[in-house]
A and B are shown apart, each in its own frame.
Chain A
Amino acid sequence: MPAVCFYFQVHQPFRIKRLRFEEVGKRRPYFDDEKNALILDKVGRKSYLKTNTVLLELIQKHAGRFKVSFSISGVALDQMRLYDPTLLKSFQDLVATGCVELLSETYYHSLAALYDVEEFKEQVAAHQKLIKNLFGVEPKIFRNTELIYNDTIGRQVAELGFTGILAEGADDVLAWRSPNFVYHHPNAPLKILTKNYRLSDDIAFRFSNRGWNEFPLTTEKFSKWVHAVSGLGDTVNLFMDYETFGEHQWEETGIFEFLKALPDAILRHPHWCFMTPSEVIANFPAVAPLAFTRDVSWADVERDTSAWNGNEMQRSALATIYALGKQVKSRNNAAVLKTWRRLLTSDHFYYMCTKFFSDGDVHAYFSPFKSPYEAFLSYMAIIEDFSMLLDQKNNRGKL
């Protein structure tokens, strides 16, 4: 019985302020609380709350036959607690239905898996703890920031006790294989779910694209494509940002109607069902080992990490901030540690991406900065200020 496996990513960074070099050492705040609260409020109203309501109704309506999974970053949860507790409550209600699985990730939605293994483990543990506290569940399946994955990360994740991981079904990795089966790590006890990027992106990116020859996308059409997998796969993994609903695809595009009607359309075929990642792993055998010999992510056509570390500014900023880790931890000061970790969030480096700046595409759309260069300079000014603070022996590190 093949399954549709939905996974939604919920994440909001603590965006930094514009800081000028002349302000370094003047104890200016790093994070733009006002903007962060504003954005959470906007995304909450346009996307999260609305979609949560739709999902809750669908779960109740289908009485256990409709299931989804989420990964919610620690920093997103922090901001919900700070700025919008009703938002948090609405996610808690969803999880309480028993039809929503929560996945594990790094608390700070960071690139620590690539740059600092110890820090990576600490952030995963911190996230586990937070999820346990807020939702009373313990995630068993891991997904790394932006689906960044390679064999080394797989081994570490297995060592942490996770039984499965989500990854991008990149063409060069899968080669002739289908993304619609469960695979396993070549030499670690870890199952791998690969994203069916064609069907996922049909919803996430192409849904409202009038230039697309399949426009408009109806649930009939989409479920027909899903049902066509019958006999050719066990699971169709639809992984996407949660903001797809209402933010990337505006309400006016009909995305909510699509979502409301989709479960019925999928379940109309008697062989098909919805499963969470844990259920997929429990129900289907891993058909073959799948090696990820390069860093794969779900971003851009390259499906690599170049959106975060593809240029010199990004590599310089990453090297500088990770190099401070030892000094930060030796301070044994929770506030200093928290500040440093918030600066590790991957979005800060994404804003410095120059790849598509010329075209003014998604990279520009999601950035609070006018240019990748402005993003870099603000970040470096903040690191300079932060380093000065770390160097001051008598400073209590109040940030």
Chain B
Amino acid sequence: MKSNQKSSQKILMLGWEFPPHITGGLGTACEGLTRALSKKGLEVHFLMPHLFGNEEASHLQLYDVNDPHTSANLKYSQKWKSAVQGRTEWLIENYPAFRTFKNTSFYPIQSPLSPYLRTIPGHTQVKLETLMELQARKKKLTASPDASPVLDFDDPELQFVPEHGHQGQSNSAHYGEQLFEEVDRYSTNALLTATQIQFDLIHAHDWMTYPAALLIAKLSHKPCILHVHSLESDRSGGFKNEHIAKIERESLLAAHAIIAVSQYTKDKLIEEYGIHGAKIMVVHNGLQERKRFKEARTPDGLYHVLFLGRVTFQKGPDYFVEAALKVLKLLPNTLFTLAGNGDMLDRLRARIQEAKAEKNFYMPGFLKGHDVDRAFAHSDLYVMPSVSEPFGISALEALYYNVPIVVSRQSGISEVIRHALKADFWDVDELANLIVGALKYPEMGRDLLHMAAQELKHLDWDAAATQVNEIYQSMGGA
């Protein structure tokens, strides 16, 4: 009874990363969500730009869209095949024409790039003309979910003449060098892969996969749900990449439905991109059930405060450091761990040196695996002073390690966990005050954790998957 009726529903899911190879919360969220969805009997086909071979994904069909070998093993859908009969060949022949970013001059983005890294100033004036834009212009596409399909095989706009191919490119998954090119290639290859999969609807995670999702939606006439884990304005602060923002906006306007990870994000979608609130559903992230390694602590007479995240504008590490310096005036025996990498690291090091507080700071860089466990387990308090945080799953993690949290009011987590200490990210005095209070009065931390535990019960992936499934049902994709 439970899921028989739903078991026939097949989801084509487009993602960019999957554990263990992740750069942020996106991959983790995709794993948690797909696991819970498959428990509900949904068949999830998950398309990735690249697979490393050690993904733990027995619960779903994982595809490497750039790898012809996995494509060869695809479950074949005769129905789909016939639907695009003759077109597949055409697509392969012409596939550079599917370049989502036609007329875009690609530019290299330095450093190992994740979709979270900020663009390089000076490269933001790139002209973009996506398929969606062309379509939007031509058909005055509306955001209404019952709008007619966006793309069609007979659409002359699709008959681009290839400019140059990608054949010579390696299928690098180190998205570093040419992100837009990667996104472009992903879009094309995902479309090709999708022709060989039977599915009822499309569900795509963050902007890198949106163009692909809309292309496939257009060609398959299936509903398209875009999931927003973060927005360009969250990631970039002052240096918004207009190019990415444009992709986000156009795609989200064209989507049939949108899932936002928080009310905070939903509000931003409405405010920044003018998207109709009625098609945005808020589904809060859950937390992966997994064994957490809780190492016993040896008392060392110090207070331990943890920041763990990218050391970039978005995460507010500078506010963390400023608050820490204020805390040290009252509680000099405090050790602040600033774990993570990012472009603000050097500046913060200099600031700490200037304040002569080097001995109170530990900056181990990016932590993985047990080192993360250890960092949490050894902390008295977790501080997440994000300037803009769509959700903030790391703060949930902290709660699972029984570490009370201080979070900025500008975070999605703040709307689901009321029992957290909260301050505006810019209010360094208040941050410092909360940190001092939490360290001096551990009884408050115990009350916080006790109460937050009740709230956490409602925040699991099963609950999220239930909501997502309801959205699937309402899309009539079954």
Contacts and interface: CB of A to CB of B under 8 A. Distances in A.
Contact of B441 (A311, A372, A376): A376
A22 B326 contact: yes
Contact of A21 (B436, B444, B446, B454): B436
A391 interface: no
Nearest to B409: A370
B455 interface: yes
B57 interface: no
B432 interface: yes
A62 interface: no
Contact of B419 (A20, A315, A358, A377): A358
Contact of A354 (B434, B441, B451): B451
A316 interface: yes
Contacts of A380: 437, 440-441
Contacts of A376: 437, 441, 444
A312 interface: yes
Nearest to A316: B443
Contact of A357 (B330, B446, B451): B451
A373 B452 CA distance: 13
Nearest to B404: A373
A376 B454 CA distance: 21
Contacts of B371: none
Given A20-B429, A22-B429, A22-B432, A312 B419 contact: no
A373 B446 CA distance: 11
A219 interface: no
B388 to A, nearest CB: 21
Interface string B426-455: 000110111011001101101110110011
A373 B421 contact: yes
B436 A354 contact: no
A315 B446 CA distance: 13
A373 B448 contact: yes
A87 interface: no
Interface string A355-377: 00110000000000011110011
A331 B109 CA distance: 71
Given A358-B451, A371-B422, A380-B437, A312 B429 contact: no
B429 A316 contact: no
A377 B441 CA distance: 9
Nearest to B326: A22
A370 B450 CA distance: 19
Contact of A22 (B330, B422, B446): B330
Nearest to A372: B447
Contacts of A357: 418-419, 451
Give the interface centre of B329, B430, B441 by most chain A CB atoms within 10 Å. B441
A370 B432 CA distance: 17
In the A-B complex, list the 9 residue pairs whose CB atoms are closest, starting with the nearest.
A312-B443, A377-B437, A20-B433, A21-B436, A316-B443, A311-B447, A354-B451, A312-B447, A313-B444
Given A357-B419, A373-B447, 10 more contacts: A22-B432, A311-B447, A312-B446, A313-B441, A357-B451, A373-B444, A373-B448, A377-B434, A380-B441, A381-B437
21 contacts: A21-B437, A22-B432, A312-B444, A312-B446, A313-B441, A313-B444, A313-B447, A315-B443, A316-B441, A371-B418, A373-B437, A373-B444, A373-B447, A376-B441, A377-B433, A377-B434, A377-B441, A377-B444, A380-B437, A380-B440, A380-B441
